[in-house]
Amino acid sequence: MAHNVVVNEVLSLTHDVKRIRTSKPKGYEFTPGQATEVSLNKQGFEDEKRPFTFTSLPSEDHLEFVIKSYFDHDGVTKQIDAIREGDELLIDDAWGAIEYKGKGIFIAGGAGITPFISIFRDLYEHGKIGDNKLIYSNKTGKDVILEPFWQEILGENFTSTLTREKIEGHDHGRITMDYLGDRIDDFSQHFYVCGPDEMVKNITGLLKQLGASPEGLVFEE
């Protein structure tokens, strides 16, 4: 079922990422980590749907999305980068397999961090952050989404690794088997993985080789 929502706030988080808040349809429900199909209520784009994750909490009176725009082609995210207050979006009902199932390690690449924003906000809201950890991979420091937020709520349990830049306070390099083996001593816990398809496939494969249970892996298939 399609719902019409109105954009009421737009904030730039990085050079190519915006936080967009909209009105919330009455009775609309989702679980932290879930997504919906979004299109612009604009001639020629109504049927151009793309999946975006909710970064708001289910209890809030608005919906929120954190969206990265790609400028190498004239697609939906490039159009969304130009969105303004008062514009309208069309959203479907919520869907998605990523949800919190217990303490574990969250591994994200780039914009794949978005399902974890709502999950960690929900855990923080209920005082249940505990010993959950986040490993977040990006190309450069300017690509890290909500770095102060992760540092505040996770402290030493937040690790940022950069593949194309060496900056103090960040690891450098890709997430390899050696990297995971050096930083994780318990592979019986849950692992939440989100990012580009190839990254998810690669990391879930590495985790299984290191002893993680397939049932303990949470990702969008």
Closest C-alpha to 107, from 160, 146, 151? 160
Place of tokens 């574990």: 104
Torsion sign, CA atoms 152, 22, 95, 13? negative
Going from N- to C-terminal start, the domains of the chain cover 3-91, 104-218
**Percent of the chain's residues with pLDDT above 90:** 90
Over the stretch 166-216, which tens digit does the pLDDT of each residue have? 999 999 999 999 999 999 999 999 999 999 999 999 999 999 999 999 999
pLDDT, tens digit (0-9, with 9 covering 90-100), for 125-150: 999 999 999 999 999 999 999 999 99
Averaged pLDDT score across all residues of the chain: 95
> Is the pLDDT confidence value at 73 over 80?
no
Report the distance separating Cα 89 and Cα 39, nearest Å: 6
Q: Of 3.40.50.720, 2.40.30.10, 3.90.740.10, 3.30.70.100, which CATH number belongs to 3-91?
A: 2.40.30.10
Q: Sheet with 217-218: list strands edge to edge.
A: 171-172, 158-162, 133-138, 104-109, 190-194, 217-218
* 104-218 fold: Rossmann fold (3.40.50)
> Which pLDDT belongs to residue 75?
72
